[in-house]
């Protein structure tokens, strides 16, 4: 089994944090986007979309999509549960993880792709779209701050996949989108301090 990773990229980071939380060790090959390693014929044969992460099983089966890969490992190693324990919890984690993807992670990736020099010549950049997504992200951080009132974690009252997605999205927002969590977002700041202290945060 091998996990294909992309240097510095948020989606593979979700899988690496997930694996660290489960204490699962998988050989990792890290590709370099700037060198175009994800666009070689060898890699495109695994994922023609040229996107990471990709998990290759020992029989050659290829799994793409971060959440699909994490769900595979959740079934293999159920503890600690990162997609919820009960029927209701599983639905709640699904709900919050999708919200964190659609309301935080996708907008921040759009800010990055449409405004950062790294993507010049690699993608068609529409600066106005990047700026619109930056404004949306500011609003969504305020929304999430309110949602976290009286809550320790985002999904269920235990660290789970939704926290991982939000953590990676906000790390990317601070780094490449220059959008740190504003100081007056007390709930989000408290949550951020707590998840950042986890030993797996650097995975």
Ligand X SMILES: N[C@@H](CCC(=O)N[C@@H](CS)C(=O)NCC(=O)O)C(=O)O
Chain residues that interact with ligand X, rule: CB under 6 A: 6, 9-11, 33, 38, 50-53, 65-66
Distance of closest approach, residue 113 Cβ to ligand X, in angstroms: 8
Q: What is the largest CA-CA distance in the chain?
A: 51
The b/e string for 107-133 (b: 16+ C-beta within 10 A; e otherwise) is bbbbbbbbbeeeeeeeeeeeeeebeeb
Name which of 106 and 136 has its Cβ closer to ligand X: 106
Residue 2, Cβ density class (10 Å: 0-12 exposed, 13-18 middle, ≥19 buried): middle
Strands (E), 49-133: 54-56, 62-64
Residue 106 to residue 169: CA distance in whole angstroms = 8
Distance of closest approach, residue 97 Cβ to ligand X, in angstroms: 11
Q: Which of 35, 59, 55 minimizes the C-alpha distance to 46?
A: 55
Distance of closest approach, residue 160 Cβ to ligand X, in angstroms: 16
Strands of the sheet with 2-6, listed across from one edge: 28-31, 2-6, 54-56, 62-64
Name which of 33 and 190 has its Cβ closer to ligand X: 33
Name which of 9 and 177 has its Cβ closer to ligand X: 9
Distance of closest approach, residue 109 Cβ to ligand X, in angstroms: 7
Name which of 148 and 162 has its Cβ closer to ligand X: 162
H and E: helices and strands count for the chain: 8, 4
- Show the tokens assigned to 1: 């089994």
Name which of 1 and 39 has its Cβ closer to ligand X: 39
Q: Which of 40, 58, 60 minimizes the C-alpha distance to 50?
A: 40
Distance of closest approach, residue 65 Cβ to ligand X, in angstroms: 5
Distance of closest approach, residue 11 Cβ to ligand X, in angstroms: 4
Name which of 171 and 190 has its Cβ closer to ligand X: 171
């Amino acid at each position: 089994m091998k996990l294909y990773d992309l240097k510095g990229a948020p989606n593979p980071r979700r899988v690496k944090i997930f694996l660290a939380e489960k204490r699962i060790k998988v050989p990792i090959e890290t590709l370099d986007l700037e060198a175009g390693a994800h666009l070689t014929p060898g890699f495109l044969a695994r994922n023609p979309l040229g996107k990471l992460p990709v998990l290759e099983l020992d029989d050659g089966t290829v799994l793409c999509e971060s959440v699909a890969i994490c769900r595979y490992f959740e079934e293999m190693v159920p503890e600690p549960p990162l997609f919820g324990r009960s029927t209701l919890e599983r639905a709640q984690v699904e709900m919050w993880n999708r919200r964190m993807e659609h309301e935080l992670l996708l907008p921040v990736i759009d800010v990055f792709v449409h405004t950062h020099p790294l993507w010049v010549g690699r993608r068609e950049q529409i600066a106005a779209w990047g700026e619109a997504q930056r404004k949306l992200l500011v609003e969504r951080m305020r929304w999430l701050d309110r949602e976290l009132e009286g809550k320790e974690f985002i999904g269920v009252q235990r660290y789970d996949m939704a926290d991982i997605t939000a953590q990676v999205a906000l790390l990317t927002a601070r780094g490449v989108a220059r959008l740190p969590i504003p100081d007056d977002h007390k709930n989000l700041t408290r949550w951020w301090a707590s998840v950042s202290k986890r030993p797996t945060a650097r995975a």
